[in-house]
Amino acid sequence: MSQPRTAVIVGAGQAGGRTAAQLRKQGWQDRILLLGEETDPPYERPPLSKDVLTKGADPLIGRLYEPGWYEANGVELRLACQVTALDLAERRLALADGGRENWDVLVLATGCRARRLDCPGAELPGIMTLRTAADARIVTTRLQAGTEVVLVGGGFIGLELAASAVARGCKVTLLEARPRLLERALPEQIADFLAARHQREGVTIHRGVGVTSFEGQGRLQGLRLSDGRRLAADLAIVGVGAQPNVELAQAAGLACDDGIRVDSHCHAGGAVYAVGDCSRFDDAWLGRSLRLESWENAERAPEAAVKAIMSRPESYGGLPWFWSDQYDINLQLLGLKQPVEQELLRGDPESGSFLHFGLVGGSVVTAALVNAGRDRRPLKRIIEGRLAVDPRALADPDTPLKQLVQG
Ligand SMILES: Cc1cc2nc3c(=O)[nH]c(=O)nc-3n(C[C@H](O)[C@H](O)[C@H](O)COP(=O)(O)OP(=O)(O)OC[C@H]3O[C@@H](n4cnc5c(N)ncnc54)[C@H](O)[C@@H]3O)c2cc1C
């Protein structure tokens, strides 16, 4: 009889948890060890900046599985367990508590951590980031009515936090270093639409300014801006992006380039795979490498990695999809922002529900859907199929998108 093998997953976030489930689903019969440094079991993060703050929902509302699932599926889940080193030659890893584990297959799902600002005063109490359920528990207690909150960074997390802080009655200021919000992710019209809504809700937005220092005696009391102004603040939440946790892989000698480099099967080489936010994969559909920080990637990449582990490789990739919720606005994005030849609007922004398209060579390459989630399916088919569409029909809300797919 052959020896039982061990699959070790490093990182018990969404991608790590889904990898464990995929291993069982696809027929891995041996040992599965899921190691995570957080104290909470695997959960989805999107609610942390949304319902957890606006509705007071449990930070683990997005938990992947009920507590009994792990035992029932033979998944050894170890929490508060940090992996400190990998020995690829010996297929062995070291843990912060001095323990060691051997693997036959290793999946790295170490995700990202929130970037921090490196400026004077950055360590003062009252300056936070939001990445984990533990962060969300603290932010929830700090967002009290009347609190002066400064959000540093006008990306998705900053904007969702702004909407949540408004809902909790805080006085909210948002700083964005670029001239526009979400410049790298959104077309101008959508960014302006969101900015206008935030301003209507009472958020003060300062663009083209950064933070030069945080100030206060024993706790945060204000921020000094790059244009010399000073803002009062009780709480600052820094949302200036995330950086992939690649140090473990890098120190072990795995190739890293803003993400652990893997092929289109999430394979890093040897018996090592990487999935989710921490990985830069060759996207079979886009035809280039890509690192994605999205729920969908954390959900789908594990299936591809496990197919390769089980010797049934199938190339991974596809049209990226992302969403954000702010106030009563549901924004969905299909495709990554890129230079386009033509931009089209469908519907009237004043109505609160409209779409924006970017076209290249007569085909739609990006779509932003504002309160128009029902159009996601036909649009996905139009973009993925690289269908040539009549721009007038596309811009006409009376022409169903389904009709364009059929046409
Ligand atoms: C507040 C917030 C809101 C979001 N909203 C959206 C949204 O609306 N839509 C969307 O598409 N995406 C959203 N995202 C992004 C999405 O949640 C992430 O892309 C997804 O969580 C990535 O999952 P992951 O498992 O790859 O990484 P992570 O969720 O980062 O999990 C990685 C885990 O690995 C652990 N780990 C790292 N190193 C080690 C080590 N050495 N040893 C042990 N454990 C380790 C980490 O502690 C962490 O628990 C949001 C993210 C945040 C933070």
Structural domains present in the chain: 6-113+243-309 (3.50.50.60), 116-240 (3.50.50.60), 338-406 (3.30.390.30)
Using an 8 Å Cβ cutoff, are 354 and 194 in contact? Answer: no
Residues paired with residue 34 on neighbouring β-strands, in sequence order: 9, 77
Ligand 1 contacts CB of residue 59 (under 6 A): no
Residue that the structure tokens 């199938």 belong to: 314
Using an 8 Å Cβ cutoff, are 121 and 218 in contact? Answer: no
Ligand 1 mean position, distance from CA 14 (Å): 7
Ligand 1 mean position, distance from CA 277 (Å): 7
Ligand 1 mean position, distance from CA 393 (Å): 39
Ligand 1 probe mutation, 103, 277, 332, most atoms within 8 A of CB = 277
Q: Whose C-alpha lies nearest to ligand 1, atom 27?
A: 111
Ligand 1 mean position, distance from CA 236 (Å): 21
Q: Whose C-alpha lies nearest to ligand 1, atom 15?
A: 294
From the list 8, 3, 15, 2, the residue with the least C-alpha distance to 272 is: 8
Compute the residue count for the chain: 407
pLDDT in tens, the chain (407 residues): 577 899 999 999 999 999 999 999 999 999 999 999 999 999 999 999 999 999 999 999 999 999 999 999 999 999 999 999 999 999 999 999 999 999 999 999 999 999 999 999 999 999 999 999 999 999 999 999 999 999 999 999 999 999 999 999 999 999 999 999 999 899 999 999 999 999 999 999 999 999 999 999 999 999 999 999 999 999 999 999 999 999 999 999 999 999 999 999 999 999 999 999 999 999 989 999 999 999 999 999 999 999 999 999 999 999 999 999 999 999 999 999 999 999 999 999 999 999 999 999 999 999 999 999 999 999 999 999 999 999 999 999 999 998 888 76
Using an 8 Å Cβ cutoff, are 53 and 163 in contact? Answer: no
Please list, in sequence order, all residues whose beta carbon lies within 8 angstroms of the beta carbon of residue 192, skipping any fewer than 6 positions away.
Answer: 180
Ligand 1 contacts CB of residue 19 (under 6 A): no
The separation between the first and the last C-alpha atoms of the chain, rounded to the nearest angstrom, is: 58
Give the pairing of strands 148-152 and 235-238.
parallel
Cα dihedral 177, 182, 187, 188 sign: negative
Ligand 1 mean position, distance from CA 40 (Å): 12
Residue that the structure tokens 């739609």 belong to: 364
Ligand 1 mean position, distance from CA 45 (Å): 6
Using an 8 Å Cβ cutoff, are 352 and 359 in contact? Answer: no
Query: Looking at ligand 1, which atom is closest to the CA of residue 48?
Result: 1
Distance from the Cα of residue 32 to its chain's centroid: 26
Ligand 1 mean position, distance from CA 262 (Å): 18
Ligand 1 contacts CB of residue 334 (under 6 A): no
Ligand 1 contacts CB of residue 139 (under 6 A): no
